[in-house]
């Protein structure tokens, strides 16, 4: 059998053209979705009396056979048949004969491919939300174990104010929560059926789009047939959300890399998640977070790539749109690869509490709090800031920290100092003084963890409803 569309042609296609235009090399990943969509379509053709019921049964059985063969790896896809849609149809006809040719009644590859992509991404979005949820669980677990662990908090990567390590980890829980919510929200726009739009204008056959939508569990059908086949917003949106997820992962990665350096020595990643050096025997490298940081680039690239493919494209389908797939597959694989490692890597990471404490004791991150102390004694904040600036400078010159100063030394800078200052300057006091909703005080972080647990169970419920 020649090309499915060979009737109008008098010559064979140049084989380089076959190879250049084919998408089967990558869109075979849509085989399951393609057949799922075809089964719903042909069922509808039967219900609407467009194809006799008996043929419908033959076609459905044939599609099942083709699906099983594909799963077993028994089908050799052909570049001459261009894409997954025509490869499946060709194999169906080979399986059941010319009646297989009735499957494509009232349908075009344009609404077919769009349907496949919607089915595919719908599954992936749920999977990814589940993986982000696992990562949140790891982070919350570490936060629970580190409710008493204080680290220097940083701005400009300079020590700023002491915070609970748990508070720092919970910031990532909030970030990944937004990511999950973005994916959940995008589901509404992914879960719309394009099928029935035909090539662009609809179809002359009395089809029932809502019946197909119901069978495939789509919430809605596309309102406009041109939009149905031209829309790739849902993929652009997915790639944007994926980019933000990778951006978040890259920030966490960078912190893991920094924290596991000898200079910080705040954490140690489990051996199972690190690699060694072929020349330097002492090395234990944080390759996973480094590579995640690096792979963020390709996900951004995929987003820019698709935005550029779609820019200025006239309605409706254009072959350019075949370029929507590889970036999407690559993004899904990149995200899943990263997330599947991150959840266990965070769960097993060792927190070096002693070293964190040492870092907190050897810095000036309690300086704001003595300024606040003087404010409490009636000094305007701007003056208090100046006094403490001078005190810190004195400490640096003397090679001391604030807690090393005698009361006499403090009083050189302001007579308002008394010996309660030593309690004020303790890291625990400093942390717990920030007892504002969303702040780093132990009670607040304990509350934040509780709220995090509520979010976890809300996501679990959503996941259960969207399997
Ligand atoms: N392989 C094509 C794609 O991925 C399927 C749609 C082809 N439609 C067409 N009219 N050539 O975009």
Enumerate domains of the chain plus CATH numbers: 6-105 (1.10.275.10), 110-358 (1.20.200.10), 362-447 (1.10.40.30)
222 lines ligand 1 (CB under 6 A): no
Shortest-distance Cα residue to atom 11 of ligand 1: 319
Q: What is the largest CA-CA distance in the chain?
A: 102
Q: What is the pLDDT of residue 165?
A: 98
Q: What is the mean pLDDT of each run of 10 residues along the chain (467 residues)?
A: 86 93 98 98 98 98 98 97 97 98 98 98 98 98 98 95 97 98 98 98 98 98 98 98 98 98 96 87 92 98 98 97 98 98 98 96 90 94 95 96 95 95 94 97 98 98 95
Q: Output the pTM of the full model.
A: 0.95
Q: What is the pLDDT of residue 3?
A: 84
What backbone torsions phi and psi does residue 97 show, to the nearest 5 degrees? 90, -170
Between the CA of 455 and the centroid of ligand 1 the distance, in Å, is 41
The tokens for 24 are 């089967």
Burial pattern 423-442, b for ≥16 Cβ within 10 A else e, equals ebbebeebbbbbeeeebbbb
317 lines ligand 1 (CB under 6 A): yes
Whether the CA torsion 106, 20, 33, 95 is positive or negative: it is positive
Between the CA of 343 and the centroid of ligand 1 the distance, in Å, is 38
Q: What is the pLDDT of residue 459?
A: 98
Asked if 191 contacts 118 with a C-beta cutoff of 8 angstroms, the reply is yes
Nearest atom, ligand 1, residue 317 CA: 10
**178 CB-side CA count, 13 A:** 13
| Closest to 248 in 3D by CA, of 216, 307, 292 | 292
Q: How far is CA 25 from CA 15, 87, 267, in A?
A: 15, 11, 43
113 lines ligand 1 (CB under 6 A): yes
Asked if 168 contacts 431 with a C-beta cutoff of 8 angstroms, the reply is no
Asked if 148 contacts 427 with a C-beta cutoff of 8 angstroms, the reply is no
Element (H, E) at 167: helix 165-190
Q: What is the pLDDT of residue 195?
A: 98
Between the CA of 38 and the centroid of ligand 1 the distance, in Å, is 16
Q: How far is CA 18 from CA 83, 85, 110, in A?
A: 10, 15, 19
């Amino acid at each position: 059998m020649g090309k499915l569309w060979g009737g109008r042609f008098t010559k064979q296609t140049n084989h380089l053209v076959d190879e250049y235009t084919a998408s089967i090399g990558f869109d075979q990943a849509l085989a399951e979705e393609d057949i799922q969509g075809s089964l719903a379509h042909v069922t509808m053709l039967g219900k609407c009396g467009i194809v006799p019921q008996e043929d419908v049964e033959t076609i459905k059985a044939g599609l099942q056979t083709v699906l099983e063969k594909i799963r077993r790896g028994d089908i050799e896809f052909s570049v001459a048949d261009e894409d997954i849609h025509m490869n499946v149809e060709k194999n169906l006809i080979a399986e059941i004969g010319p009646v297989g040719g009735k499957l494509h009644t009232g349908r075009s590859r344009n609404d077919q491919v769009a349907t496949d992509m919607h089915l595919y991404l719908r599954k992936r979005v749920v999977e990814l939300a589940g993986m982000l949820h696992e990562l949140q669980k790891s982070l919350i677990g570490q936060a629970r174990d580190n409710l008493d662990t204080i680290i220097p908090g940083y701005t400009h990567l300079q020590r700023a104010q002491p915070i609970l390590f748990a508070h720092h980890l919970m910031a990532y829980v909030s970030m990944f929560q937004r990511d999950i919510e973005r994916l959940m929200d995008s589901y509404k726009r992914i879960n719309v059926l394009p099928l029935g739009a035909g090539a662009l204008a609809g179809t002359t056959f009395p089809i029932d789009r809502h019946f197909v939508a119901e069978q495939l569990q789509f919430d809605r059908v596309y309102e406009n047939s041109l939009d149905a086949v031209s829309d790739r917003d849902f993929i652009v949106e997915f790639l944007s959300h994926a980019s933000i997820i990778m951006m978040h992962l890259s920030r966490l990665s960078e912190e893991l890399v920094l924290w596991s350096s000898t200079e910080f020595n705040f954490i140690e990643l489990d051996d199972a998640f690190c690699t060694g050096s072929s020349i330097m025997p002492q090395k234990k490298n944080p390759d996973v977070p480094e590579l995640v940081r690096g792979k963020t680039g390709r996900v951004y690239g995929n987003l820019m790539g698709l935005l550029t493919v779609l820019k200025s494209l006239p309605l409706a389908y254009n072959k350019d749109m075949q370029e929507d797939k590889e970036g999407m597959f690559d993004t899904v694989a990149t995200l899943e690869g990263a997330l599947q490692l991150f959840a266990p890597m965070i769960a097993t990471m060792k927190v070096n509490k002693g070293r964190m404490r040492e870092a907190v004791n050897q810095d000036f991150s309690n300086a704001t709090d003595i300024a606040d102390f003087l404010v409490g004694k009636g000094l305007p904040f701007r003056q208090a800031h100046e006094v403490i600036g001078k005190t810190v400078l004195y400490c640096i010159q003397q090679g001391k920290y604030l807690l090393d100063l005698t009361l006499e030394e403090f009083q050189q800078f302001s007579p308002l100092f008394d010996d309660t200052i030593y309690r004020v300057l303790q890291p625990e006091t400093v942390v717990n003084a920030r007892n504002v909703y969303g702040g780093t005080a132990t009670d607040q972080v304990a509350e934040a963890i509780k709220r995090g647990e509520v979010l976890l169970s809300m996501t679990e419920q959503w996941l259960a409803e969207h399997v």
